[in-house]
Amino acid sequence: MMIIAAQILLGLALLACTWRAWRGPAAEDRVLALDTLYVNAMLLVVTFGIRNSTSLFFEAALVMGLLGFVTTAALAKFLLRGEVIE
Amino acid sequence: MSEAASLLVLCGAVIAFGGSLGLVRLKTFFERVHPATMATTLGAALILGGSMLQLGSLHELLIGAFITATTPISYILLVAAARRRRAP
């Protein structure tokens, strides 16, 4: 029961991040919201793994965390310099 | 389902939700960076701790160490980009 409440809270957090990524006045706001969205989705996958008592979801969560960091670093580098690899 | 694990997960979810709500409520970009860091470090640490307690595995330390090491890097890059773009 508490896990389901936690999942509902994480879903509301996803909605809040989506709203900020939609409405963000600057590009940095959108990138920040996208990074938080990635981490919240990763935590949601981890809670699904807890509910099913399996460690199958662990690899998915690990890949999501890794991809989130790469995405945010590339987008921030693009905003900083105007190109990703120079 | 042990009670301690579900309590940890619920606390982590509350903190993650609070951080995302701060992303909506606060006014400027430099204020909005703070709740995002709270959501991605403390919330993730609590939920991963609950997962470790429930599943009895140490795999989640990998995700926790990765998140803790990479979140400051990406946010420092983002704030540097914001300062560069807002400079007169």
Which amino acid is located at B49 in the chain?
Answer: G
What tokens appear for A51 in the block?
């509910």
Q: How far is A49 from chain B (nearest CA, A)?
A: 8
The string of pLDDT tens digits covering residues A9-51 is 999 999 999 999 998 788 889 999 999 999 999 999 999 999 8
Between chains, do A73 and B77 touch, taking CB under 8 Å as contact?
yes
Nearest to A3 among B9, B33, B81 (CB): B9
Neighboring chain B residues of A60 at a CB cutoff of 8 Å: none
Q: How many domains does chain A have?
A: 1
Statement: residue A82 has pLDDT above 90:
no
Which residue range is the domain that position A49 belongs to? Answer: 2-81
pLDDT in tens, B12-65: 999 999 999 999 998 888 899 999 898 889 999 999 999 998 888 888 899 999
Per residue in A44-78, pLDDT (tens digit) is: 999 999 988 888 888 899 999 999 999 999 999 89
Q: Which of B1, B6, B14, B20 to mutate to test the interface with A (most CBs of A within 10 A)?
A: B20
Q: Is residue A86 part of a domain?
A: no
Domains of chain B, residue spans: 3-86
Global pTM value? 0.90
Count how many residues are written for chain A.
86
Phi-psi region of B10 (alpha: psi -120 to 50; beta: other; left: phi over 0): alpha
Q: What DSSP string runs through B10-45?
A: HHHHHHHHHHHHHHHH-SSHHHHHHHHHHIIIIIHH
Cβ of A36 and B40 within 8 Å? yes
User: Which of B21, B47, B81 lies closest to A46 in CB terms?
Assistant: B47
DSSP 8-state symbol, B59: T
Task: Identify whether A36 is part of a domain.
Answer: yes
Burial classification of residue B65, based on how many CB atoms lie within 10 Å of its CB (0-12 exposed, 13-18 middle, 19 or more buried): exposed
How near does any CA of chain B get to the CA of A86, in Å?
Answer: 16
Q: What is the pLDDT of residue B57?
A: 82
